[in-house]
């Protein structure tokens, strides 16, 4: 099982955060990652 963590600077614009998450998830999938973890509250920062 390949495990990875995504890390990025969360912004106050949740739509931008969602775009970044989608990109990171796509990259993880392309690299056969089985479990991909992102920072908590990445869409809720205000």
Residue 9, domain member (yes or no)? yes
Structural domain of 13: 3-37
Say if strands 3-5 and 35-37 run parallel, antiparallel, or are unpaired: parallel
Residue 44, domain member (yes or no)? no
Token pair of 35, please? Answer: 């479990």
> What pLDDT sits at residue 32?
98
Structure pTM?
Answer: 0.82
Count: domains in the chain? 1
Residue 42, domain member (yes or no)? no
Residue 10, domain member (yes or no)? yes
Residue range 24-34: mean pLDDT, rounded: 98
């Amino acid at each position: 099982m390949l495990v990875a963590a995504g890390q990025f600077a969360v912004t106050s614009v949740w739509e931008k955060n969602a775009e970044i998450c989608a990109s990171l998830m796509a990259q993880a999938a392309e690299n056969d990652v089985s479990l991909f973890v992102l920072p908590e509250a990445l869409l809720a920062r205000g």
